[in-house]
Structure 1
Amino acid sequence: MHAATISYYTLFSMIPLLYFIVIGFGKILGQDFCIQVITDIFQKNVGLNDIEVYTDYLKNLNQQSRSWALNFVMICVLLYSCSAFMVSLKHSMNDFFDITPNKQHKINIFLDVLKFRFFSLSYLALIALAIFLLYFLQIFVFSILSSWFAMLHFEYLLLQYVFSIVLNFVVIIFVFKFIQDGKISWSLASKGAFLTAVLLFLSQLIIKWYLQHYFFLGRGDLVGSIFILMAWVFYSAQVIFFGAKFTYIYGKRYP
């Protein structure tokens, strides 16, 4: 139920989020570079080999980005869909960490929800920034090592896997630490995030292989890409929720 809800909100929040990543970070890094980063992440992590459906749509929207009406509509859609995604994720984390929010007056509850919805965009922006920084670090490390050594294919893949685990770790520790209503120490969050990051990486390899070879909609165009993305989010969310429950049990047993 939790994973299905996350998949549902991911579908509606993805395009507005990618749109503002492109026009936001694109002003600094270049919009073509941002689209290339998005393409690499979708191809290497998710297994979507043909994502021209998304990138062409982003380029088309990018050409209209000076339209204040389009920007206003996208901001409204982004505020609702992304904040709904983060609120749903927080409710799921509360369940798996067995956290019951304190009873408050209805006005205070409304203000807290409203505040969290607006902070959700900041959280997502920080996660996007971390992804871009890690991407730059990966390019830098690969360029340095390739200039010093003749890297073998195995060593190249190994470094890619390490960076994938680090990326998973950064995102998961952020979720465990901040996207819930309780208080979790950095030590506990880091231990749980590391285990979950490794499990998530291994499961993503299996999910990617399955979706590319056996998923019955895997060779479609737009519909196939949407179903692959939703299936990938669904199964990845299951691993993250397992990691959250493990972290909760570990914290209870070894306080």
Structure 2
Amino acid sequence: MKEFQSSSYKKHSSRSFNFKDIPELLKDTYRNWMDSNPFQLSAIVAYYAILSLPALIVIILNVVGSIWGKEIVQGELLDEISKAIGQETAESIRLMMLDRGDKKTGLFTTIVGVIVLIYGATGVFFQLQNALNKIWGMSAGAQEGVINLIKSRAKGFGFILILGFLLLVSLLMTTLISTFSNRLAYLLPEVAVDKVFIGDTMLSLILIYTLFAALFKFLPDVNIRWRAVRVGAAITAVLFVVGKFLLAYYFKIMEPGSTYGAAGSIILIMLWVSYSSLILFFGANFTKVYANKYLLQKQEIKRGVGSKNKKSFASS
């Protein structure tokens, strides 16, 4: 078992969290965040997000659409994209959804197509995994080998399924909230809008928190204690929700994509993914700082097939 201790920290006895520690935590997090070169990492993730987007949309539409209905899922996705990035970008993605390649093909072509589809869709998660590994101090060669590559892609596909599940839950809860709000508006019209807004915001927080917790816990090649994951995911979820509203306002007022003409939609998607990745990486660094400060974790090799050179954070 290899023990790891970040150069930014001295070994000290475990202690409980105190609100007075927040300034120090944020200062250490910012230092670690800048040291990890977050702008380069976020640019890489944004580039691969564009490459992965068509395949990601096809998989989510087919997986969740088979349960809820493709038209409903498509409408929900476009509505969220429109709120976050703008109507023009949502329209570009809608056209992408219409051209899904539904024509019949042979068995071999279908199998190859599915493999390529999954490989393409998991690209962005593979890059996220590399970025999180770098934040946790993993060496660049830790993922060498075909087995490790297959495992990483399989893990990425698992996160696509998690996204699909969360979208399904979101659709269900949105329907329930909408039904409740209609009933509430009939009984108490003056408070209905506020109740719906609060309910929708809380639902978004819960789903985003769940996604970040899964990302921090399972995507990197490190074992991170759940206590650190819960705190880090909560901080990241709050920052992400706030950032989402600020980005939507920025895109609406400044219209940064208008400069690029026909390529504006692609640029907006890349900007949104890049800014969101910066928040995610800040949360990952906060999780690392919190784990080092309060949990005295050790970094060791993660056990499993093909993981000879992998490291991980295990409980001390």
TM-score normalised by structure 2 residue count: 0.71
What is aligned with 2:148? 112
Task: Write the distance in 2 (CA, Å) between the matches of 1:221 and 1:161.
Answer: 33
Q: Is the 8 A contact 2:64 2:168 kept in 1?
A: no
Partner of residue 265, structure 2 = 225
2:183 matched to which residue of 1?
A: 147
Native 8 Å contact 1:9 1:82 kept in 2: no
Q: What residue number does 1:47 align with?
A: 85
Query: How far apart in 2 are the matches of 1:154 and 1:26?
Result: 30
1:166 Cα deviation from its structure 2 partner: 1.7
Query: After superposition, what is the alpha-carbon deviation per residue over 1:156-203, rounded to whole angstroms, capped at 9, x for unaligned?
Result: 222222222222211111100001011112221111100110011111
Further displaced range: 219-228 or 116-125: 219-228
Asked which structure has the greater CA Rg, the reply is 2
Residue 183 (structure 1) aligned to one of 223, 247, 262? 223
Question: Counterparts of 1:144 and 1:220 in 2: how far apart (Å)?
Answer: 43
Contact 1:177 1:186 in 2 (8 A): yes
The one-letter code sitting in structure 2 at the alignment partner of 1:223 is: A
CA contact (8 A) 1:26 1:34 kept: yes
Conservation of the 8 A alpha-carbon contact between 1:96 and 1:244 = yes
**Residues 16 and 74 in structure 1, CA contact (< 8 A), matched pair in contact too:** no
Retained in 2: the 8 A contact 1:211–1:218?
no
Q: Distance in 2 between matches of 1:115 and 1:215?
A: 40
Q: Tell me which of 242, 246, 252 is aligned to 2:286.
A: 246
In the TM superposition, 1:84-163 aligns within 5 A as 84-100=123-139, 109-148=145-184, 149-150=188-189, 151-163=191-203
Take 1:157 and 1:180, find their aligned partners in 2: how far apart are those partners? Answer: 34
Q: Give the letter aligned to residue 85 of structure 2.
A: G
CA shift at 1:15, angstroms?
A: 1.0
Uncovered stretches (5+) of structure 1, i.e. residues with no partner: none
Shift of 1:222: 4.9
2:28 counterpart of 1:28:
no
What whole-Å deviation, never above 9, does each CA across 1:80-124 have from its counterpart, x for those lacking one? Answer: 3233322211111112223458969x6xx3212212213321221
Identity of paired residues, percent? 21
Q: Please tell me the root mean square deviation across aligned C-alpha atoms, in Å.
A: 2.5
The structure with the largest helix share of the pair is: 1
**Per-residue deviation at 1:216?**
3.0
2:251 equivalent among 211, 214, 223: 211
The equivalent residue for 1:236 is: 276
Of structures 1 and 2, the one scoring higher in RCO (CA 8 A, sep 6+) is: 2
> Do the aligned partners of residues 102 and 210 (structure 1) sit closer, same or farther apart at CA in structure 2, a change above 3 Å counting?
closer
Report Cα offsets for 1:45-71 as digits up to 9, x if no partner: x23223222213312326x25445885
Gaps of 5+ in 2: 1-39, 296-316
| In the alignment, structure 1 residue 11 sits paired with structure 2 residue 47 | no
Q: TM-score, normalised by structure 1?
A: 0.87
Distance 1:161 1:74, change over 3 A: farther
Q: Identify if the C-alpha distance between structure 1 residues 222 and 74 changes in structure 2 by more than 3 Å, giving closer, same or farther.
A: farther
* 2:238 matches 1:198: yes
Decide whether aligned partners of structure 1 residues 65 and 38 sit closer, same or farther in structure 2, where only a CA change above 3 A counts.
farther
